[in-house]
Amino acid sequence: MKKITVAQSDLTDDTNPMYELKLFITGTRPQSMRAIKNIKALCESRLKGHYHLQVVDVYQEPAQAIQQQVIAAPTLVKLTPRPVRRLIGDMSNSKSVLHGLNLPDEI
């Protein structure tokens, strides 16, 4: 599987910071595919225009997983805004993912 990068607008302000996210997956396994689908949907609905999502296949790029200290996949790493957070799983529990990204549950 090739690396997928989804870039959104680089415009940011204090109320809507830019989110730098890396999703580490393991090939085309069902849980990895669900994680990609779920995090893309969440980002489009809650962070549209304020995120950069990079999907990294640990089979293709193991060095990135080592660098980010990823020990399980799928894992979402929120690099910015700080603090760095790691979320493990297929990202299907929206409430937990929103909490991990420090976003309110409600729109």
Residue 105's pLDDT band (cuts 50, 70, 90): confident
Asked if residue 5 has pLDDT above 80, the reply is no
Task: Give the model's pLDDT for residue 12.
Answer: 41
Q: Are 21 and 39 in contact (CB under 8 A)?
A: yes
* pTM of the full structure: 0.84
Task: Name, in order, each residue with C-beta under 8 angstroms of 35's C-beta and a sequence gap of 6 or more.
Answer: 23, 25, 74, 76, 89, 90, 91
pLDDT tens figures, 61-102: 999 999 999 999 999 999 999 999 999 999 999 999 999 999
> Residue 21 carries which DSSP code?
E
Q: Locate the domains of the chain by residue range.
A: 17-100
The overall average pLDDT reported for the chain is 88
Distance CA 97, CA 105 (A): 9
Topology of domain 17-100, per CATH?
Glutaredoxin (3.40.30)
